[in-house]
């Protein structure tokens, strides 16, 4: 189930109780939705609320789900729309004072773990510089491994637009990584 290419077990067994089916979807895919929202730029403090909002919308539209399609691209479309609406809201525009807390591993980190962590954090910060419409295509294709036709279908965009956004997003991300890496080298 990790690639989202098959439906949830409850759906596969043709469970007739929609409550049981939705609960299985929620429990099985909540972590996926959470990580998608994070990669789309949602602040840590907003992730839980946004993930729940995704599932509220999924619940409302559950009858629209085509059981012959994988569930994760369908969920990604909801997460993308919720993240985009949140970014447009006035509440998300207020500046947050102070630095975000960084999670630390209780075990003493090895040099390689530290370098890997720094590279991942640089990548996540650089993702913030990629416009959301392009970032959604990049995250869904590169991180989630969805084929571009499925990405286009989930986001409701033409196939050629999806390919174009992927190409532009890759360039945007590469430029943002270089720019942030230079900036962070110079910073004290």
How many domains is the chain built from? 2
| Whether residue 78 is found in the same domain as residue 154 | no
- Domain containing 159: what range? 110-188
Least confident among 8-12, 65-69, 76-80, 145-149 = 8-12
| Pairwise pLDDT comparison (166 vs 18), residue with the higher score | 166
**Contact (Cβ atoms closer than 8 angstroms) between residue 180 and residue 122:** yes
Q: Is 85 found in the same domain as 5?
A: yes
- The answer, yes or no, to whether residue 52 has pLDDT greater than 60, is yes
CATH number where 151 lies? 1.10.10.10
Domain-terminating residue out of 64, 95, 126 = 95
Provide the CATH number for the domain around residue 15: 1.10.1740.10
Instruction: Please indicate, yes or no, if residue 15 is contained in any of the structural domains.
Output: yes
CA atoms within 13 A on the CB side of 163: 4
Whether 103 is covered by a domain: the verdict is no
31, 3: one domain: yes
Confidence band, pLDDT 50/70/90 cuts, at residue 112: low
Whether 52 is covered by a domain: the verdict is: yes
Q: Please tell me the predicted confidence (pLDDT) of residue 18.
A: 76
Final residue before a domain boundary, out of 47, 67, 95: 95
Are 2 and 76 in the same domain? yes
The DSSP code sequence of 29-78 is HHHHHHHHHHHTT--GGGHHHHHHHHHHHHHHTGGG--TTS-HHHHHHHH
CB atoms within 10 A of CB 97: 5
50 within some domain: yes
Residue 71 lies in a domain: yes
Q: How far apart are CA 188 and CA 179, in angstroms?
A: 16
Average pLDDT value for residue range 77-89? 88
The pLDDT score that the predictor gives to residue 159 is: 96
Cα(5)–Cα(72) distance, integer angstroms: 7
Give the range among 18-22, 29-33, 58-62, 132-136 with minimum mean pLDDT. Answer: 18-22
- 139 confidence band (pLDDT: 50, 70, 90): very high
DSSP string over 104-168 = --SSPPPHHHHHHHHHHHHHHHHHTTS-HHHHHHHIIIIIT---HHHHHHHHT--HHHHHHHHHH
- Mean pLDDT computed over 81-99: 69
- Number of other residues whose CB lies within 10 A of the CB of residue 134: 19
Residue 22 pLDDT class (50, 70, 90 cuts): confident
Residue 104 covered by a domain: no
Is there a domain that residue 105 lies in?
no
User: What tokens does 29 get?
Assistant: 């895919």
Residues in the chain, total:
188
> Is the domain of 137 the same as that of 83?
no
Residues 117 and 63 in one domain: no
The pLDDT, as a whole number, for residue 4 is 46
> Which of 95, 125, 149 finishes a domain?
95
* 57 lies in the same domain as 114: no
pLDDT of res. 115: 63
pLDDT for the residue 106: 54
Q: Is the pTM of this model over 0.75?
A: no
């Amino acid at each position: 189930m990790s690639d989202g290419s098959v439906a949830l077990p409850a759906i596969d067994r043709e469970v007739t109780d929609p409550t049981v089916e939705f609960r299985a979807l929620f429990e099985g895919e909540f972590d996926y939705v959470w990580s998608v929202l994070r990669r789309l730029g949602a602040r840590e403090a907003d992730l839980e609320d946004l993930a729940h909002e995704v599932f509220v919308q999924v619940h409302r539209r559950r009858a629209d789900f085509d059981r012959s399609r994988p569930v994760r691209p369908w969920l990604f479309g909801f997460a993308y729309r919720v993240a985009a609406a949140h970014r447009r809201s006035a509440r998300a525009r207020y500046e947050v004072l102070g630095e975000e807390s960084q999670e630390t591993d209780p075990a003493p980190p090895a040099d390689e773990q530290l370098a890997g962590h720094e590279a991942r954090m640089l990548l996540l910060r650089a993702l913030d510089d990629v416009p959301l419409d392009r970032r959604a295509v990049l995250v869904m294709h590169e991180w989630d491994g969805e084929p571009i036709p499925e990405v286009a279908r989930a986001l409701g965009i033409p196939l050629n637009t999806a390919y174009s956004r992927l190409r532009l997003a890759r360039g945007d991300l590469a430029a943002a990584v270089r720019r942030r890496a230079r900036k962070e080298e110079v910073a004290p």
